[in-house]
Amino acid sequence: MNKPPKKKSPASILAALEKREREIGVSRRALREKERTLATLMSNLDGMVYRCRNDEQWTMEFVSDGCFGLTGYRPQELLDNKLISFEELEHPEDRARVRQEIESAIKEKRRFFVEYRIQCRDGEIKWVWERGVGIYGRRGSVVTIEGFIENVTERKLSTQALQQAERSFRSIFENATEGIFQTTPDGRYLNVNPALARIYGHATPAELIGAIGDIQHQVYTDPIRRHEFMRLMREAGNVANFVSEIRRKDGHRIWISENARAVLDEAGNLLFFEGTVEDVTQNKIDQEKLEHLANHDPVTSLPNRLLMNDRLRQMMLNGQRTKSIVAVALVDLDHFKLINDTFGHNRGDQLLQTMAHRMLACVRETDTVVRLGGDEFVLLLSGAGRGEGMSQVVQRVLQAISRPSQIEGRELAVSCSVGVSIFPRDGRDVQTLLRNADTAMYKAKEYGRNNFQFYSPEMNTVIAERLEMQTSLRTAVENEQFELFYQPKIDLVSGRIAGMEALLRVKDKEGGLSLPDRFIQMAEETGLIVRIGEWVMREACRFNRSLLDQGFAPMRVAINLSARQLTRYDLVRVVKQTLKEANLPAECLELELTESMVMTEPENVILILGQLQALGIELSIDDFGTGYSSLSYLKRFPVTSLKIDQSFVRELDQQHSDHQNAAAITKAIISIGHSLDMKVIAEGVETEEQMSFLVKNGCDAMQGYLFSQPLPGAEFISLLQRETKGDGKFALLQQLCATLRDKAAPELVVDASNA
């Protein structure tokens, strides 16, 4: 049974009520205090706290003061969505996404986070970050949503800027034409760009990074380069234009240039290296080409003088160390100028190339063949002993050079003259060795070319002699210390003197005479030939006039011309003038030209010769067969006779090993001459056998010791007088010609000494 409740006294009830009231007051105060704190907190938040219903419009039930700062709307204006709903502030492009995120979070009962843009009252677009949560009722359905929206525009913009920067750096990295890398000190790749992968022959950066774990041995062809790289990094912290050869994936070697630096952490510890790589293979090739150009001759690709100086110095140093010798052989092609002038520079260059190859084939790999320029080459040979081995090499070169070569389908025989000086015997520096080799080479030329000479100190006197000769030639010109000798030309039909050739002699101090071979070349080199030539023409014309005056039948005097007289000088005017002064008919003068002279500038020469012919003088080609005439030009030259060179005539004798060749050439010249309507004369006829051959083969005239040597003017006159008188020797000669022509040669001897 239940006990009836104990009755409480009104006072105690009052007291209890008062107590209760006090308690409530305390908790209300506490609540108010809490609310105030909350309100302070919320209004200080840089953002807006909200609570809304989970209805269609997300009607706002609470909006904190932060709303104003964030959106420009007052909380009351958003409360109950009075003026505008928060969703309407959301950027139209973001709205659907925001809704979807919040709804799915609420459905899944999780917190939501969403970033999007809002448009503020003043139109400004801000980035906000909203996070919130659904508040669920007892039955588990969502009652409200509470959340916080904060302004993250600044952060967002700076991240965007950062991303933008990152994107553009990435693009530079990805699209650079230079390779970019980060590598570890132990030689692996951390990061490379596509360009580096491409330069190293890999398909992708990843492939490169995966394939190379040891830069030193897998990349550099010379692993020492990596040591050098590391050393520079240690010492300077960077490398600049560090050029090395590397191996690509396919094994190909290329040249790269690296610029890199060491990247350190704050404590100064090395983290990695980073830098760029450029493929400089083409530069390297270009540079090598340039260097090659500077050090080599463009025509033959042989080393030039510059490189020679260098190599010779090296070889001398080496020679000193190993007690061996070095030979400097100066090789000069004989008469190369003639070939160049006749065939043109292209063919001349071709010939130089051929000769260069031949010389290279004669020497060892350690030797050097240099082209000094023009037709001059130098061989640098190293060896032991006193040069015996060298002379074998030089001998081989002489043989190789003189092998016939083809130019424009024609066979050409070139020879060379070689002078050799030896280090250390003949000199201890480049200059001296070259000078002495040059001296020896001149000696070789003097010995008739196509030979070689070792330098000897006495040779220096040769140089001195040349200088002396130059001086004396000049004085000879000043003082007209000249004399003309005349050699008769014999008509092989009539056996009579048909003309004469004037040959120059120089009188020396002692009253002796020197032959033109010794001074004509020098006169040409020095230009003195022009004055000498004028003197010769004057004197020859004067002499011939005097013969006319003495009543001799008119005959021609032939004078020899030099190239310089023909083309670089107003020859036509001088000839005209001289004939006039001497009062000599033009028919009494003949000019002898050589093949090389007329073939040098044929078109120009044809003009000049035409003018000379128009004056009425005769023109002939001397030493025919030694140069390189073009038959088509020959036809166009107004030339009236060819003189077969004495080298062929000399070899016509049976005793001569080459007589068959000489005979064939002589016959050919006679027939060419005749077919071009020219007379053919043989020079240097010394034997009856030669004469007999010439007569039998229809040669028109001859000149030579067989009948007479060149004679001083007075002696020539007495020879003419003897002929006029019908001297026996002349009668014999005439008879001989007649019978030979009938191919029944009697045993007649023409004694030249008596003639």
Minimum distance from residue 610 beta carbon to ligand C2E (Å): 21
Judged by beta carbon distances under 5 to 8 A according to partner kind, the member of Mg ion, ligand C2E, none in contact with residue 469 is: none
Asked if 560 is part of the footprint of Mg ion (rule: CB under 5 A), the reply reads yes
Distance between alpha carbon 335 and the CA centroid of its chain, in Å? 29
Instruction: Find the shortest distance in angstroms from Cβ 678 to ligand C2E.
Output: 17
Shortest distance in whole angstroms from residue 484 CB to ligand C2E: 7
Contact 500, 488 (CB under 8 A): yes
- Prior bond to 710 cis, omega within 30? no
**Closer residue to ligand C2E, CB minimum distance, 275 or 495:** 495
**Which residue bears the tokens 């025919």?**
624
**If contact means CB under 5 to 8 A according to the sort of partner, which of Mg ion, ligand C2E, none does residue 666 touch?**
none
Work out what residue 201 binds among Mg ion, ligand C2E, none; the CB cut-off runs from 5 to 8 Å by kind. none
Residue 744 burial class via C-beta count within 10 angstroms: exposed 0-12, middle 13-18, buried 19 and up: exposed
Q: Which stretch binds Mg ion (CB under 5 A): 82-90, 290-298, 336-344, 620-628?
A: 620-628
The least CB distance from residue 470 to ligand C2E, in Å, is 17
What tokens appear for 598 in the block?
Answer: 């007329």
Nearest distance in Å: CB 590, ligand C2E? 12
User: Which of 244, 596 has the CB closer to Mg ion?
Assistant: 596
- Residue 370 interacts, among ligand C2E, Mg ion, none and using kind-specific CB cut-offs from 5 to 8 Å, with none
Q: How deeply is 51 buried, as exposed, middle or buried, from its count of CB atoms within 10 A (0-12, 13-18, 19+)? A: middle
Report the b/e string of 224-254 with b at 16+ CB within 10 A. Answer: ebbeebbebbeeeeebeebebebbeeeeeeb
Q: 130, 332, 367, 622: which one contacts Mg ion (CB under 5 A)?
A: 622
What backbone phi and psi angles, to 5 degrees, belong to 241?
A: 45, 50
In the 8-state DSSP scheme, what is residue 332? Answer: E
Q: In whole angstroms, what is the distance from residue 444 CA to residue 110 CA?
A: 111
Q: Please report how close the Cβ of residue 594 comes to Mg ion at its closest, in angstroms.
A: 8
Determine, following the binding rule CB under 5 A, whether residue 590 of this chain makes contact with Mg ion: no
Residue 712 C-beta: closest distance to Mg ion, Å: 18
Q: 245: part of which helix (H) or strand (E)?
A: strand 238-247
Tell me if 618 contacts Mg ion by CB under 5 A.
no
592 binds Mg ion (CB under 5 A): yes
Distance CA 316, CA 421 (A): 13
Which CB sits closer to ligand C2E, 153 or 481? 481
Q: Are 222 and 245 in contact (CB under 8 A)?
A: yes
The residue (of 256 and 490) whose beta carbon lies closer to ligand C2E is 490
For ligand C2E, the closer CB: 377 or 519:
519
- Alpha carbon 185 to its chain centroid, in Å, reads 41
Reduce the DSSP state of residue 467 to 3 states and report it.
helix
Pairing of strands 641-644, 618-624: parallel
Which residue, 13 or 515, has its beta carbon nearer to ligand C2E? 515
Select from Mg ion, ligand C2E, none the partner in contact with residue 487, using the beta carbon and a kind-dependent cut-off of 5 to 8 Å. Answer: ligand C2E
Tell the smallest beta-carbon distance from residue 645 to Mg ion (Å): 6
Q: Should residue 623 be labelled a site residue for Mg ion when binding is judged by CB under 5 A?
A: yes
Q: Give the DSSP per-residue string, 24-62.
A: HHHHHHHHHHHHHHHHHHHHHSSEEEEEEESSTT--EEE
Q: Which does 413 bind (CB under 5 to 8 A by kind): ligand C2E, Mg ion, none?
A: none
Identify residues 683-712 at the interface with Mg ion (CB under 5 A).
Answer: 683
Q: For ligand C2E, which is the closer residue by CB, 390 or 642?
A: 642
Where along the sequence are the contacts to ligand C2E (CB under 6 A)? Answer: 487, 503-504, 515-517, 520, 533, 536, 559-562, 592, 622-623, 646, 683-686, 703-705, 710
DSSP H or E stretch at residue 391 = helix 388-402
Q: How far is the CB of 573 from ligand C2E (least distance, A)?
A: 18
d(CA 114, CA 105): 11
Q: Which does 367 bind (CB under 5 to 8 A by kind): Mg ion, ligand C2E, none?
A: none
Q: Which one, 86 or 486, has the nearer CB to ligand C2E?
A: 486
Nearer to Mg ion, 560 or 641 (CB): 560
Cα 736 versus chain centre, distance: 67
| Closest distance of CB 524 from Mg ion, Å | 15
Binding segment toward Mg ion, per CB under 5 A, in 466-474, 608-616, 629-637, 678-686: 678-686
CB of 320 to ligand C2E, least distance (A): 48
CB of 643 to Mg ion, least distance (A): 6
Which residues have C-beta within 8 Å of that of residue 364, sequence separation ≥ 6?
A: 381
Among ligand C2E, Mg ion, none, what binds residue 260 when CB lies within 5 to 8 Å by partner kind?
none
Range in contact with Mg ion (rule: CB under 5 A) among 229-237, 412-420, 614-622, 652-660: 614-622
Tokens standing for residue 729: 């020797």
Burial bucket for residue 14 (CB in 10 Å: 0-12, 13-18, 19+): exposed
Q: In what order do the strands lie in the sheet with 325-333?
A: 368-373, 376-383, 325-333, 416-423, 452-454
Helix axes 460-479, 430-446, angle to 10 degrees: 60
Residue closer to Mg ion (CB basis): 438 or 683: 683
Specify the stretch interacting with Mg ion by CB under 5 A; choose among 37-45, 468-476, 616-624, 652-660: 616-624
Per the rule left: phi > 0, alpha: psi between -120 and 50, beta: everything else, 397 is alpha
Minimum CB distance to ligand C2E, residue 354 (Å):
30
Site for Mg ion contains 453 (CB under 5 A): no
Closest CB to ligand C2E among residues 90, 622? 622
State the CB neighbour count (10 A cutoff) for residue 130: 23
Q: Which among Mg ion, ligand C2E, none contacts residue 555 (Cβ within 5 to 8 A by kind)?
A: none
Binding site for Mg ion (CB under 5 A): 560, 592, 622-623, 683
